[in-house]
């Protein structure tokens, strides 16, 4: 048994720094009752945050769009992120930052301005959206019948917990024996999956959807790698037919990196194994990590 009370995870809440099991929010917090919260997730690999500044930039943009303003400055939030990781002692970690609307100061108020916004952060042992075993054989991806929530109703570039449509897609995927799902919008264009962006490869070109999707930091990293390697790539409208006709499909997320797909609905891709482009980009992604690409070393001295 570890003697570190934070070994399973550490959190920062309105109660200060606590072991993850002790972290809590009020059941009256609009972050809980209304999903009135935005968040971001950054990973730590080999003792360094990956693209921390980019995640903090996206988080700041999301908070501004939702008009949620916790009392902490950006520098204070960054220091808190370092400390929650340092308390765990983890070298590989899943690290989340959340900005919640909070509870209304006036009982029964329906005015967002009556709420005291607050900031939460936590660090957990590494999380993969798809297990390493699934990634090795290639994920099995189901195209859900549930349409993605319209962009006009909620900006998909604001990371959020309103996963009703995504969860319905997951339920459908699991009912059909698949690992996870991807959703199209009401017009039949591909969007994203539960917690990841989607890419297709066709005739050597790598494309990712231009709508219904979070501006993923891992997605950006894949496009950066493509540019550096001279691989044609871009953000474009992708129809369901284009997805179904792709030579390869892969997904990308902070919690797992580049994750190849070997089955799409009942179609087998790449002899039921990860395709060559997917495997190449996955290998490059982790190679760059080991080389310190976009790395910010965690300040483990903050564990004291």
Query: Residue ranges of the domains in the chain?
Result: 10-126, 132-290
Summary mean pLDDT of the chain:
97
Please tell me whether the overall predicted TM-score, pTM, comes out greater than 0.75 for this model.
yes
Token code pair at residue 174: 């699991």
Given a contact cutoff of 8 angstroms between Cβ atoms, the answer to whether 248 and 260 are in contact is yes
Predicted pLDDT at 107: 86
Is domain 132-290 in CATH 3.20.10.10, yes or no?
yes
Given a contact cutoff of 8 angstroms between Cβ atoms, the answer to whether 277 and 248 are in contact is yes
Q: Is pLDDT at 158 greater than 70 in this prediction?
A: yes
Predicted pLDDT at 48: 98
Chain segment 5-40, per-residue pLDDT in tens: 999 999 999 999 999 999 999 999 999 999 999 999
Chain segment 276-287, per-residue pLDDT in tens: 999 999 999 999
Nearest residue to 127 via CA among 76, 196, 213: 196
Mean pLDDT of 186-196: 97
Given a contact cutoff of 8 angstroms between Cβ atoms, the answer to whether 269 and 248 are in contact is yes
Chain segment 40-95, per-residue pLDDT in tens: 999 999 999 999 999 999 999 999 999 999 999 999 999 999 999 999 999 999 99
182: β partners = 143
Predicted pLDDT at 2: 67
Length of the chain: 304
Task: Enumerate the H helices of the chain as residue ranges.
Answer: 30-33, 52-66, 74-88, 132-137, 164-175, 217-229, 240-244, 276-290
Q: Give the strand pairing for 248-253 and 180-182.
A: unpaired
Q: Is pLDDT at 194 greater than 90 in this prediction?
A: yes
Is domain 10-126 in CATH 3.30.470.10, yes or no?
yes
Predicted pLDDT at 151: 95
Nearest residue to 42 via CA among 295, 212, 288: 295
Report how far apart the first and last C-alpha atoms of the chain are (Å, whole number).
21
């Amino acid at each position: 048994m570890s003697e570190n009370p934070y070994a399973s995870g550490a959190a920062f809440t309105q109660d200060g720094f606590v072991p993850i099991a002790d972290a809590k929010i009020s059941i009256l917090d609009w972050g809980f009752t209304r999903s009135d919260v935005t968040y971001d997730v950054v990973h730590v690999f080999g003792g360094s945050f990956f693209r921390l500044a980019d995640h903090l930039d996206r988080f700041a943009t999301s908070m501004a769009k939702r008009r949620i303003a916790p009392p902490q400055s950006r520098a204070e939030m960054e220091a808190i992120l370092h400390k929650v990781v340092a308390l765990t002692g983890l070298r590989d970690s899943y690290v989340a930052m959340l900005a919640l609307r909070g509870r209304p100061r006036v009982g029964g108020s329906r005015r967002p301005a009556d709420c005291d916004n607050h900031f939460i952060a936590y660090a957990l042992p590494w999380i993969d959206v798809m297990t390493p075993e699934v990634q090795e054989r290639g994920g099995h991806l189901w195209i859900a019948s549930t349409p993605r929530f319209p962009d006009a109703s909620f900006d998909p570039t604001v990371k959020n917990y309103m996963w009703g449509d995504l969860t319905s897609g997951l339920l459908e995927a699991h009912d059909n024996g698949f690992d996870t799902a991807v959703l199209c919008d009401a017009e039949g264009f591909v969007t994203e999956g539960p917690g990841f962006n989607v890419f297709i490869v066709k005739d050597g070109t790598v494309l990712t959807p231009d709508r219904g999707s979070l501006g993923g930091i891992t997605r950006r990293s894949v496009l950066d790698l493509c540019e550096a390697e001279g691989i044609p790539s871009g953000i474009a409208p992708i129809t369901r037919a284009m997805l179904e006709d792709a030579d390869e499909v892969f997904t990308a997320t902070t919690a797992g990196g580049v994750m190849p797909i070997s089955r799409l609905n009942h179609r087998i891709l790449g002899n039921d194994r990860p395709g060559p482009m997917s495997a190449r980009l996955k290998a490059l992604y982790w190679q760059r990590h080991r080389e310190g690409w976009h790395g910010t070393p965690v300040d483990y001295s903050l564990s004291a």
